[in-house]
Structures are given as C-alpha cells and as structure tokens.
C-alpha cells in the first residue's frame, strides 16, 4: 500500500455582493426569486444569517429551459448574509472557510 500523506486545504474567504438593478433586473420578478427571498428571510431570522451553499449542475440537453441535473453540497464553506433587501432579494455577505486535513494517496 502506498504511503498516505496529509495536507491542509485552505479555502480563502470570499465576499459576495448582488446589488445592481441593471444586472439583476431580468430575475428580480421571477417566481424563483420569491422563494429565494423567503429562504433568506428564514436564514436571517432563525440561523443568524448563516448557511451552506450548493453547487447546481444544469441539464444542458434541456436548454433553454432551466432544469437541474445534479446538486452538490459545498461542505467546507459557510456563508453569512450581512446586507439584504427583502423587496428585491438582493444581498451581500461573506464566507467562513473551514480548514480540513485531506489524505492524498
């Protein structure tokens, strides 16, 4: 069996900012945004604004329809919403990466 080495994977903190009517106008009135606003309100009221995100892979064969093929949790990164407009769903915040040891074979 080959030797196992360990390394420390460090993720860099990230900031996000989605306030801009010019960029966001196409999705501001979508039904999905209404659901997203409700999720953000819940997160702020019950989870101190913190959440873990998911990565979504689209079903490219269904384009231009937006259908999800796969969903992957992002396990080593926690996000916090620091600013939120409940009328539009626009928000800002930052991430808190964890440091984890991973085995490399």
> What pLDDT digit, counting tens, does each position of 29-73 carry?
777 888 889 999 999 999 999 998 888 899 999 888 888 999 998
- pTM for this structure? 0.66
In what order do the strands lie in the sheet containing 68-84?
A: 15-17, 91-97, 68-84, 50-58
DSSP state of 30: S
CA distance 32 to 37: 9
User: Six-digit token pair at 4?
Assistant: 């196992």
Q: Collect all residues with Cβ–Cβ distance below 8 Å to 43 and sequence separation of at least 6.
A: 49, 50, 51, 81
Structural domain spans, the chain: 30-100
């Amino acid at each position: 069996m080959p030797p196992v080495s360990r390394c420390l994977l460090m993720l860099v903190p990230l900031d996000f900012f989605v306030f801009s009517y010019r960029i966001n106008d196409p999705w501001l009135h979508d039904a999905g945004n209404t659901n997203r606003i409700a999720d953000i309100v819940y997160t702020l009221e019950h989870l101190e604004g913190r959440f873990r995100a998911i990565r979504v892979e689209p079903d490219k064969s269904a384009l231009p329809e937006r259908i999800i093929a796969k969903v992957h949790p992002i396990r080593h990164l926690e996000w916090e919403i620091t600013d939120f407009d409940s009328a539009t769903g626009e928000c800002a915040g930052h991430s808190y990466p964890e440091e984890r040891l991973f085995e490399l074979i």
